[in-house]
Structure 1
Amino acid sequence: MTALPPASRARRAVRASLPVALCAGLAAVLTACGEDPDEGTNGVGKLSASEIEAKAQGAADTAKAVRLSGTLVSKGGTYKLNMRLNETGAIGSVVTRTSTFELLRVGDALYLKADAAFWSHAESTGGDESAESDTTAADKLNDKYVVVPQDDPSYKQLRGFTEKNVLLDGLLELHGEVVKGDRDKIGGIRTIKVAGGAQGEGGTLDVSLEGTPYPVQFARGGGAGVVVLSDWNQDFALRAPAKEETVDYGRQLPRTSD
């Protein structure tokens, strides 16, 4: 028969084991509470707000390509964009309050593609000298890549939707004092927010905490739209449309109402 240890010895053994267990548990809690939120990231989250903004702008400037999608609100109207842009051109779509069309730019050559409904609502700018009716123009231009003449008043405006640097420079600028915000996740990518002003009235930029610190999302101040930026540095080929897909209207395009 095995002798039982005296009760006092058993109590001492239990008391001795308690500090060990408590310390182990406390260490686990403290480790969990002290986890580094930047562990496994690119470290950008540790920088100041102005440094994060500079990193993001630098990454955007050096990227060869990007996809930009979202909504822009301006005095000229509301535009929904879905554009792929690189250093030589762009391809994608633009939706306004009353119309939808595609844009393709290869170098300086700019093309606009839309259906007959788009062109049938267009107003000719040629006055009495315009020989074609709206219906005839719509039939001719339907679902074709229409060459936008460089002297057409709409050329500069439409080209602005296809210029990577122009769009990014205009979009990614924060106004006011830049402050550091919370961490978030956009499209599965961990981000850190930087904002213009404490309430983001000067815009809010989400910067990737994974890999290169590219801008991931930009919310313009005053509810002027939100755009998502993706496919950074994933270049793509651009080619001019085939001759049978193209129409050279030969003069200024019909004006479309917004």
Structure 2
Amino acid sequence: MTVLPLASRARRAAFVSAMCAGLVAASTSLTGCGGGEDPDAGTNGVGKLSASKIQGKADRAAEAASAVRLSGTVVSKNHTYTLDMRLKGEGGTGSVTSKGQTFQLLRVGDELYLKAGSEFWTHDGGAADGKSGSGDGAAAAKLDDKYVKVPQGDPAYQQLSGFTDKDKLLGGMLTLHGQLAKGDRGKTGRLRSIKITGDEGAGGTLSVSLDGKPYPLRLERGGHAGTLKLTDWNEDFPLKEPGKDEMVDYGKQLPTS
């Protein structure tokens, strides 16, 4: 009663073995016969590490990178900021939108410039300098789409320059809070990635590249505090101070807005 089933199993085993051998011979990229595919095959290997070590690798890769593009939303002190910034060691450039108003920032070394439309410089229908009168429109029009140098002594300098500082911006955002754990593998854009979470996502979720260097690719900030994409790692971009015809010198303090 057992001869035929045993023989049948032997024939099936021989058939499967021959099929696997034929597939491997036909294409070395096909795997899985006789075992599961290694999820870390062809990756940078960080998926094998603990969550804390992946976080450390991502932090060091970001710090060492010469440039990055950061885009998305940040919620801070009940304000939502939409960012699209390109950053490197010497400065940064890009746009920030808050309260329905968009302005451009440009920092070259220690020199910071702000550019916005005339409506940005008016406040409650008043003038760009906070005064009312027939010259209100003219005052705002002079600043329309022009760079204004932000004096380093102006209270706005520290806040605005922070949006253009690669190390400060990434250092303050990329750290997850709470107990770290590894999440799912998948894709972020065109790159394979692995997620790490803080306190099961309550402390943030970071997607780290499994292709090439372990750059952080996407951050979901804890407490619904925004989502950011990090792209264009090490892709250089020009930084140049605006020409005189592109700029208005407003002295030692920005106009009230």
TM-score interval w.r.t. the shorter chain?
0.7 to 0.9
State the match for 2:4 in structure 1. Answer: none
Q: Which deviates more, 112-121 or 136-145? A: 112-121
TM-score calculated relative to the size of structure 2: 0.86
For 1:152 and 1:188, locate their aligned partners in 2 and report how far apart those are by CA, in whole Å. 42
Task: Note if contact 1:120-1:137 (Cα within 8 Å) is conserved in structure 2.
Answer: no
What does residue 254 of structure 1 align with? 255
Deviation at 1:197, TM superposition (A): 1.1
Match of 2:206, as an amino acid? L
Aligned counterparts, 1:1-258, within 5 A: 17-24=11-18, 31=33, 34-121=36-123, 133-198=135-200, 200-256=201-257
Question: 1:219, 1:227 within 8 Å by CA — same for their partners in 2?
Answer: yes
Shift in Å, 1:105: 0.4
Q: Deviations over 1:144-191 (max 9, x none)?
A: 011111111111111110110110011101111111111121111111
8 Å Cα contact 2:129/2:256 also seen in 1: no
Distance 1:114 1:72, change over 3 A: same
Residues 121 and 127, structure 2, Cα contact 8 Å, conserved in 1? no
Off by >3 Å, runs of 4+ in structure 1: 13-19, 22-30, 121-128, 130-134
Q: Deviations over 1:198-244 (max 9, x none)?
A: 2x111111000000100001110111100000111112221101111
* Overall identity of the aligned pairs, in %: 57
Contact 1:124/1:253 (<8 A) preserved: no
SS at the partner of 2:158?
Answer: helix
Worse overlay, 160-169 or 17-26: 17-26
Distance 2:33 2:199 in 1: 34
What is the match of residue 9 of structure 1? none
What residue in structure 2 maps to residue 10 of structure 1?
none
Change (3 A) 1:141 1:55: same
Aligned partner letter, 2:255: P
Task: Quote how far apart the aligned CAs of 1:250 are.
Answer: 1.7
**RMSD of aligned Cα (Å):** 2.7
When Rg is computed on C-alpha atoms for both structures, the one with the higher figure is: 1
Give the letter for the 1:224 counterpart: A
Structure 2 unaligned blocks of 5 or more: 1-6, 24-30
Alignment check: 8 A CA contact 2:197 2:203 kept = yes
Taking structure 1 as the reference length, what is the TM-score of the superposition? 0.85
Stretch deviating more after TM superposition (114-123 or 73-82): 114-123
Counterpart Cα distance in 1 of 2:237 and 2:155: 29
Question: Any idea what SS the aligned residue of 1:233 has?
Answer: coil
Query: CA distance change for structure 1 residues 192 and 19 in 2, over 3 Å: closer, same or farther?
Result: closer
How many residues are treated as equivalent by the alignment? 243
Q: C-alpha displacement at 1:125, in angstroms? A: 8.8
User: How far did residue 23 of structure 1 move?
Assistant: 4.3
Unaligned runs of 5+ in 1: 1-12
Give distance in 1, aligned partners of 2:189 and 2:245. Answer: 39
C-alpha contact (below 8 Å) 2:61/2:213 kept by paired residues: yes
